[in-house]
Amino acid sequence: MEKKILDPNLKQILSKIANTIRGLSMDAVQKANSGHPGLPMGCAEIGAYLWGHPLQQNPKDSKWMNRDRFILSAGHGSMLLYSCLHLAGYQVTLEDIKNFRQLHSKTPGHPESLDTDGVETTTGPLGQGLGNGVGQALGLKLLEARFNTPKQKILNPKVFVLMGDGCVMEGVTSEVSAFAGHLQLDNLIAIYDANHVTLDGPLQESGSENTFERYKSYGWDVYEIDGNDLDELHTTISHIRENQTKPTLIIAHTIIGKGSPHKAGTSQAHGSPLGVEEVKASKIALGIPEEPFFVPQAVYDFFKVRQKQQAQVEEDWKKEFEEWAKTNPQLLKEMEIMIHKKLPVNLEEQLKAIEIKSPVAGRKASQVVLEKLADLLPFLYGGSADLSVSDLTMIQQFPIVTPGNFKGRNIKFGIREFGMATMATGMSQTGMIIPFVGTFLTFSDYMRNAIRLASLMRQQVIYQFTHDSIFLGEDGPTHQPIEHLAALRAMPQLHVIRPADANEVRMAWIAALNYKGPTALILSRQNLPTLDSTNVPYSEGVARGAYIIKKEVSSPPNFTLIATGSEVSLALDVSKELEKIGKSVRVISMPCWELYEKQNPEYKESIFGGDLGQRVSIEAGVEQGWHKYIGRSGIAISMESYGASAPASALATEFGFTVNAILEQIL
């Protein structure tokens, strides 16, 4: 690798920028009396170099399609990112820096993509930022394969990820790094802040792996440099940009808290303010003014010039894009559909026209719907954690994404559930893809923190969870979800939809496609009858979250039965037996609690208001949450223990999910 030396004038201003980052980071953490100064101080040269030289971005258009992405996976070091965004000209002011970690500020403790201009993804739980980065890199490769032509390559961005020891240690990075190496993602550059210090003390107390060889074994190119040396950064990153053929890791050895006379290189610089006297001593040692939040005018002037250069780069790209658009009108039309996520106006009509024979498993009905949707919606991409033959997420008419070939729409994520979920979020963050990912419901536990962050960010990801109850049968309690519905419903901004039959499956997909946030589709393994009473317009059924599928014969009803998924048909069977003995019964299908809670008070009253007799919920999961709808005196037919290995019919009898068993409980 040929050594490249930075222009002396550029190197001088980058050094000044690095020390400005250190000063802003120390001051912000000290003022907040909370935060992590160590990483921003240790990685200041990395931040200064990236924003001052190679990053292809335009701060005045932070969503420019062809921008390079930067992700701070080690999100606790957020002041590095906020300092760089402020100096580079994003909508992060010096006042925002001063309000670090304060209520409703643009500079929260960890970067949040909905709050702060220029933040590509919400990070903090370590390792997931790399997963998002791999997902973004994969998504961009898919888009490049779709829209670039032999003559006009309108998309060629890079994804940079800065991660720390905590990211390297977390298991999710093993999953996503192995996958990135498998697919040879040549647009991904990860920088490892190897400062040999964790929050709890020296790294050697908890780790001794050879990260260089580990990443080589994943199929990455790996470089090792002094991360505080601007010339080494320039030499290495310039070489990678010109020659990259696979994902690349730069192991950048840095000094945590660099510049602090008494805390640099120690865990004392990691997660606490340095202290007033140490901040003062650090500024003296660094040769920067003691004035809080000081930014040299020369730094602002440098970035003003750079902003003009970056704006011109985007303007030149727009001219190329216009030529591409004229030459490729069909591709332009497709791109506009993908950007705006346009749905056909007659989507509901088209989905209702699909023939799905009854009885049918929820997973199979979803597969049939997905095949149709893939034809209609070019922005749907997805796959499974090695279960596509079982969760039925494979789109048969499209190929599989393979190393070096990104023209497919099916992705085999391997047995990497957590990694798959983080990558799905990253794919969504490209702005042109709605990803769907599948596995068994019980394995949502592996994915939980990634689903939580997707919910926090309102990323439109669709999770297809199959094998949704004890009725999957013989695989037994290790695979039979019990508490998972309640656990997913506990997450704000996640829509959890458990369809009763093929009719509701069709409408559940419409709900997921219309919701600008994540959706979990909960689908059965076993066959379910298709019910006449669920064949209602989307706006009157699933869109409402809960709706009456059987009205009481006389008012008020003696019983109101509320069920989801496979238990809806069971509730209808119970209602028939109750009517035989002269009882009046209302039956409610409640596929989505979250959609129901968004309804107006009048509608809610029409479903659950007034005297409804004995309220009974029927769901093959824990009862947690149901008493909000059935009341303190309501009866929850539920699972309060783990399941067992047996055929589904035997399990129904064993755990009380039969008509006779329910009648015994409620009469």
Which whole-number Å values give the CA distances from 421 to 98, 427, 435, 462, 666, in the listed order?
Answer: 35, 10, 10, 10, 41
Catalytic residue selected from 45, 417, 594, 619: 417
> Is 69 assigned to a binding site?
no
Rounded CA-CA distance 14/23 in Å is 14
> Is 363 assigned to a binding site?
yes
> Is 200 assigned to a binding site?
no
Residue with tokens 């030499």: 235
> Is 390 assigned to a binding site?
yes
Rounded CA-CA distance 589/241 in Å is 55
> Is 125 assigned to a binding site?
yes
Assign 162 to helix, strand or coil: strand
Whether 640 contacts 615, CB under 8 Å: no
> Is 306 assigned to a binding site?
no
Tokens of residue 414, six digits = 């391997």
Whether 392 contacts 366, CB under 8 Å: yes
Sequence-ordered strand ranges (E) for 318-397: 360-361, 380-384
Which whole-number Å values give the CA distances from 564 to 529, 593, 603, 617, in the listed order?
Answer: 14, 10, 19, 9
Whether 527 contacts 473, CB under 8 Å: no
Tokens of residue 33, six digits = 């009396």
> Is 196 assigned to a binding site?
no
Whether 134 contacts 426, CB under 8 Å: yes
> Is 506 assigned to a binding site?
no
Q: Max alpha carbon distance in the chain (Å)?
A: 93
> Is 270 assigned to a binding site?
yes
> Is 134 assigned to a binding site?
no
Other C-beta atoms lying within 10 Å of the C-beta of residue 68: 19
Compute φ and ψ for 528, nearest 5 degrees. Answer: -130, 145
Assign 229 to helix, strand or coil: coil
Rounded CA-CA distance 264/353 in Å is 67
Tokens of residue 508, six digits = 């559940």
> Is 124 assigned to a binding site?
yes
User: Which residues contact residue 304 at a Cβ distance below 8 angstroms, ignoring those fewer than 6 apart?
Assistant: 89
Which whole-number Å values give the CA distances from 276 to 27, 77, 271, 281, in the listed order?
Answer: 9, 19, 15, 9
Whether 445 contacts 482, CB under 8 Å: no
Compute φ and ψ for 335, nearest 5 degrees. Answer: -60, -40
> Is 212 assigned to a binding site?
no
> Is 76 assigned to a binding site?
yes
Instruction: Please confirm, yes or no, whether 417 is among the known catalytic residues.
Output: yes
Whether 533 contacts 509, CB under 8 Å: no
> Is 382 assigned to a binding site?
no
> Is 118 assigned to a binding site?
no
**Of 130, 160, 135, 131, whose CA–CA distance to 69 is shortest?**
160
> Taking each helix axis from N to C terminus, what angle separates 444-457 and 128-147, rounded to the nearest 10 degrees?
70
Other C-beta atoms lying within 10 Å of the C-beta of residue 440: 23
Whether 52 contacts 306, CB under 8 Å: yes
Rounded CA-CA distance 302/295 in Å is 12
Rounded CA-CA distance 117/94 in Å is 14
Binding residues for Mg(2+): 165, 195, 197
Residues with catalytic annotation? 417
Binding residues for substrate: 36, 270, 363, 390, 467, 475, 479, 525
Binding residues: 36, 76, 124-126, 165-166, 195, 197, 270, 363, 390, 443, 467, 475, 479, 525
Binding residues for thiamine diphosphate: 76, 124-126, 166, 195, 270, 443
